[in-house]
């Protein structure tokens, strides 16, 4: 869903939509978009209704039925995401919908509102899909709690009916869905859309003042970086969070952070009405860094499992994953900007709107394939960090463990490493691997995620567990994986530096002219 939301806002931020050559329904400025919109919403409704019926049919109180229901619901969500993404692209790129909203409805000079109205079909389609699938998703989570012998009993309604949480109504469910799947991306992007309106509106004045054609884009870039830095504070209030209350669990988190050298502003309890078993970390700098643990995570997992999840989130911070994601965003922006520069200088395509669309396609391809691949690698690195993080707390382990089995460790010739986690051999503890693997599988079951289901950002649970199992018995493969991750980060830094140098070289003449005037010619 995150990628679809990014794509949706990228469409409204692209100027000149729809391009003249692709505006297939220009002769029907009202009827054309209306027909596409109706078909768009209808397709989502039919797919969601069919998926709900198929999912509920599998829920028969057995483990096999529960797994089949999860598979059906996952397939339904994938289908709906494709329909939503393709339908929105068709509506904005191939019909005069965007120009109808901005020009036809005379909203062009109002900030943000026309952009949100252009995305209204997307929001409507998502709301309809979630409303239809609400019952199916809720019953899957209830079934998971019934089938898990270690789960704490869920709350009950006055009629005695099992519920996923004390406030698991349709309204709270939809609110949580919007908060966690749309607003997490949309809230910062709305600010950027607002800034884009002013930089576009006052671009002539800015150009005359600074004598730079690209000053408006530069200001927008600076605003975007600022929004990225303060987004953790925004999301803290967009989501429903409160500081984690004092107690043994918070003390354990604080001791872990102190032991590994993790600095943060606050540890937050993430209120999801018992619907999401999850944790997260956000913030580039310690002063604006928040660590979140959901209510369902605390009520369904043991303390050891919670600490394993906490260690995974700490791994993202300790390995600077957020910062490298920022570098990736910079590289992707350079790639898209480079496409526009080449098209503008070569005039292979004469329509600037098509330049923007081609650059958008390049940008989305970078995010879909490049970011997804890097994110999956980083997730596995965070998994490995979590295993190393919980290893010092392993009181009992097998003799064959490469960390605690001293005879095996010595005969394997493993090196020791000294870090914030203490002095350890470079292998992985068997017991810690087993604990973390069980935790991953349990979280997947509680969230209704098939173990084999692929994920854009995280990869499948099965693949992560198999990789951990492999590394636990093959320290050489683990060392190679660590080196590969080092090279990924090095390449990101190198591309960022090269892109910055190229951009400076391209724009230096205009900067020099703005600062010192036109170059003098000597006779």
Quickly tell me which residue has 């005037």 as its tokens.
517
**Average pLDDT rounded to a whole number, residues 110-128:** 92
For the chain, percent of residues with pLDDT exceeding 70: 86
Identify the pLDDT of residue 227. Answer: 87
Lowest mean pLDDT among 203-217, 393-407, 494-508: 393-407
347: left (phi over 0), alpha (psi -120 to 50) or beta: left
Kindly report each contact of residues 97-100 with a partner whose C-beta sits within 8 Å and lies 24 or more positions away, as own/partner: 97/18, 97/33, 97/36, 97/37, 98/12, 98/17, 98/18, 99/17, 99/18, 99/29, 100/29, 100/30, 100/33
- What is the reported pTM? 0.79
Mean pLDDT estimate for the chain: 82
Tokens of 346: 């070569």
**Average pLDDT rounded to a whole number, residues 69-75:** 89
pLDDT tens for each residue of 183-209: 888 888 888 888 888 888 888 888 888
Higher pLDDT, 281 or 416: 281
Tokens of 485: 């991750």
**Average pLDDT rounded to a whole number, residues 52-64:** 88
Buried b (16+ CB within 10 A) or exposed e, 287-303: ebbbbbbbbbbbbbbee
Q: Which of 56, 43, 68 is nearest to 129 (CA)?
A: 43
Sign of the Cα torsion 86, 447, 445, 69 reads negative
Stretch (H or E) spanning 422: strand 422-425
**Average pLDDT rounded to a whole number, residues 477-487:** 92
Distance CA 134, CA 169 (A): 9
**Average pLDDT rounded to a whole number, residues 62-74:** 86
Q: How confident is the model at residue 163 (pLDDT cuts 50, 70, 90)?
A: very low
pLDDT over threshold 80, residue 156: no
92 class by beta-carbon count within 10 Å (0-12 exposed, 13-18 middle, 19+ buried): buried
Identify the pLDDT of residue 276. Answer: 78
pLDDT over threshold 70, residue 407: no
Identify the pLDDT of residue 162. Answer: 35
Identify the pLDDT of residue 179. Answer: 86
Stretch (H or E) spanning 294: strand 290-294
pLDDT over threshold 80, residue 176: yes
pLDDT tens for each residue of 240-297: 888 988 888 888 888 888 888 888 888 898 888 777 788 888 888 888 888 888 888 8
Cβ(51)–Cβ(73) below 8 Å: yes
Radius of gyration of the chain (CA): 26
Stretch (H or E) spanning 186: helix 184-201
């Amino acid at each position: 869903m995150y990628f679809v939301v990014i794509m949706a806002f990228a469409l409204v931020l692209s100027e000149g939509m729809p391009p003249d050559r692709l505006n297939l329904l220009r002769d029907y400025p009202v009827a054309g978009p209306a027909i596409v919109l109706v078909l768009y919403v209808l397709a989502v409704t039919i797919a969601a209704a069919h998926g709900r019926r198929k999912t509920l049919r599998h829920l028969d109180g057995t483990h096999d039925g529960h797994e089949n229901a999860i598979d059906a619901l996952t397939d339904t969500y994938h289908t709906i995401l494709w329909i939503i993404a393709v339908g929105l692209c068709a509506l904005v790129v191939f019909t005069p919908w965007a120009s109808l909203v901005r020009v036809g409805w005379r909203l062009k000079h109002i900030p943000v509102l026309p952009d949100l109205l252009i995305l209204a079909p997307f929001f409507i389609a998502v709301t309809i899909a979630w409303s239809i699938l609400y019952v199916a998703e809720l019953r899957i989570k209830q079934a998971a709690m019934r089938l898990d012998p270690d789960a704490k009993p869920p709350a009950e309604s006055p009629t005695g009916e099992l519920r996923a949480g004390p406030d698991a109504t349709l309204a709270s469910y939809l609110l949580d869905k919007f908060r966690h799947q749309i607003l997490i991306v949309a809230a910062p992007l709305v600010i950027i859309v607002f800034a884009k309106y002013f930089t576009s509106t006052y671009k002539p004045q800015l150009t005359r003042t600074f004598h730079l054609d690209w000053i408006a884009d530069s200001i927008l870039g600076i605003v975007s970086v600022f929004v990225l830095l303060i987004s953790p504070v925004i999301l803290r209030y967009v989501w429903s969070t409160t500081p984690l209350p004092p107690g043994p669990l918070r003390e354990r988190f604080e001791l872990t952070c102190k032991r590994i050298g993790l600095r943060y502003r606050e540890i937050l309890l993430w209120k999801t009405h018992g619907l999401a078993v999850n944790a997260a970390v956000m913030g580039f700098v310690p002063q604006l860094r928040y660590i979140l643990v959901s209510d369902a995570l605390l009520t369904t997992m043991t303390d050891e499992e919670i600490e394993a999840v906490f260690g995974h989130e700490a791994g993202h911070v300790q390995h600077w994953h957020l910062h490298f994601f920022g570098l990736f965003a910079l590289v992707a922006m350079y790639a898209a900007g480079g496409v526009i520069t080449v098209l503008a200088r070569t005039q292979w395509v004469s329509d600037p709107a098509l330049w923007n669309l081609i650059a958008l396609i390049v940008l989305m391809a970078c995010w879909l394939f490049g970011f997804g691949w890097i994110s999956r690698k980083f997730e596995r690195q965070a998994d490995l960090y979590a295993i190393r993080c919980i290893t010092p707390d392993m009181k009992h382990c097998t003799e064959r463990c490469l960390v605690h089995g001293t005879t095996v460790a010595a005969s394997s010739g493993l090196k020791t490493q000294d870090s914030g986690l203490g002095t350890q051999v470079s292998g992985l503890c068997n017991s810690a691997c087993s604990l973390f693997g069980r935790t991953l599988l349990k979280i997947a079951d509680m969230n209704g995620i098939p173990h084999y289901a692929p994920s854009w950002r995280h990869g499948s649970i099965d693949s992560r567990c198999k990789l951990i199992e492999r590394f636990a018995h093959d320290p050489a493969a683990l060392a190679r994986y660590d080196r590969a991750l080092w090279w990924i980060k090095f390449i990101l830094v190198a591309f960022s530096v090269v892109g910055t140098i190229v951009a400076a070289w391209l724009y230096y003449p205009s900067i020099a002219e703005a600062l010192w005037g036109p170059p003098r010619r000597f006779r």
